[in-house]
Amino acid sequence: MAKQYNEPTSKSAAVQLATVYDAYRALGLGGEPVLAARSPFVNAQGAMFFMSLDGQRWHDTSLRQGGGVLDLLELALGVERHEARWLLRELERDLVAGTLLTVPNVAGGPSPAVTKSSEGCQ
């Protein structure tokens, strides 16, 4: 008798592919993402941005704010949660396809468009 596999029935059972590192790179927040870097949000000495080893969490000391990938997308782009979810799905789709999602105009607030780079992901 063949073993049957069932698809997950709830959204919480879905695996998140994109990490904070992927979002940081896609948002163009300055250089390559590392565990600890200068804050991309505040230009002050000692303002630090930390990312967890597994890439699922971040914390900005200057803002006293942190969270997951969705929280980073919301903060960097000034978008609502549903828009951040859409961008996360696009980012994950592009990671699977081997293209890198880039979001222009981060400093100017919400991005009017999402574009893709054909550089690929490392």
Instruction: Encode pLDDT of 21-77 as tens digits.
Output: 889 988 888 877 888 888 999 887 878 999 999 999 999 999 999 999 999 999 999
| Tokens of residue 17, six digits | 């592919």
For the full predicted model, state whether its pTM sits above 0.75: no
pLDDT bracket for residue 5 (50, 70, 90): very low
Q: Domain total for the chain?
A: 1
| CA distance linking residue 103 with residue 83, whole number of Å | 13
Residue 2 covered by a domain: no
Residue 92 covered by a domain: yes
Residue ranges making up the domain that contains 100: 16-104
28: left (phi over 0), alpha (psi -120 to 50) or beta: left
Task: CATH number of the domain at 77, please.
Answer: 3.90.580
Smallest CA-to-CA distance from 24 within 56, 61, 62 is with 56
C-alpha torsion angle, residues 62, 67, 71, 75 (rounded to 10) = 0
Residue 109 covered by a domain: no
Residue 46 covered by a domain: yes
Place of tokens 């980012």: 91
Residue 115 covered by a domain: no
